[in-house]
């Protein structure tokens, strides 16, 4: 079942010591979510399992961020990101995410593991501005070129600060 969620301006703020944990298969379908994930998302475990992780994707998140995430994971590397998620009731919650490939005993990637925690408020102010600019680039470029356009904008912005994505994110 696909849920039609209408975003609201109601924010759920993560508690200081909460950790949201989820696992997905190689296609991004949820195979595990801890109680904290279920709590903040507003979905039951049965509603989450087997669904694409983008069930909680907020429309304020640029598509380019997720392209960067998937490209980084495809290289076998972990990725850090600030993410605005959409709960089933339309509220939103910000997280600082660490997503990493899960490997079997032979070293083959079999899925992905994500741990999210409460982000620093100052970082959210910065990322909200960055994401607004990326979304504007995506809208200008149109659906076909949206992801590449927002990533190009981000790359240029980071280059002007003489940094790269990972150093920038971890510096916030």
Q: Please give the structure tokens belonging to residue 70.
A: 């998937």
What is the pLDDT, as a whole number, of residue 140? 97
Considering the entire predicted model, what is its pTM? Answer: 0.95
What is the pLDDT, as a whole number, of residue 103? 97
Q: Architecture of 19-171 per CATH?
A: 2-Layer Sandwich (3.30)
Query: What percent of the chain stands above pLDDT 90?
Result: 98
pLDDT in tens, 45-88: 999 999 999 999 999 999 999 999 999 999 999 999 999 999 99
What is the pLDDT, as a whole number, of residue 4? 87
pLDDT category of residue 2 using cuts at 50, 70 and 90: low
What is the pLDDT, as a whole number, of residue 168? 98
Q: Where do the domains of the chain lie?
A: 19-171
Provide mean pLDDT across the span 127-144.
97
What is the pLDDT, as a whole number, of residue 55? 96
pLDDT category of residue 1 using cuts at 50, 70 and 90: low
Mean pLDDT over each residue of the chain, to the nearest integer: 96
């Amino acid at each position: 079942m696909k849920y039609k969620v209408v975003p609201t301006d109601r924010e759920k703020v993560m508690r200081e010591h909460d950790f949201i944990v989820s696992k997905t298969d190689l296609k991004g379908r949820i195979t595990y979510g801890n109680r904290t994930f279920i709590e903040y998302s507003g979905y039951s475990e049965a509603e989450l399992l087997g669904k694409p992780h983008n069930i909680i994707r907020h429309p304020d998140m640029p598509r380019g961020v997720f392209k960067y995430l998937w490209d980084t994971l495809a290289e076998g590397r972990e990725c850090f990101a600030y993410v605005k998620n959409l709960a089933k009731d339309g509220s939103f919650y910000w997280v600082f995410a660490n997503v990493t490939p899960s490997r079997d005993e032979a070293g083959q990637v079999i899925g992905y593991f994500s741990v999210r925690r409460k982000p620093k408020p100052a970082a959210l102010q910065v990322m909200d501005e960055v994401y607004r600019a990326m979304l504007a680039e995506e809208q200008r470029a149109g659906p076909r070129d949206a992801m590449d356009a927002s990533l190009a904008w981000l790359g240029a912005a980071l280059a002007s600060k003489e940094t790269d994505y990972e150093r920038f994110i971890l510096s916030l």
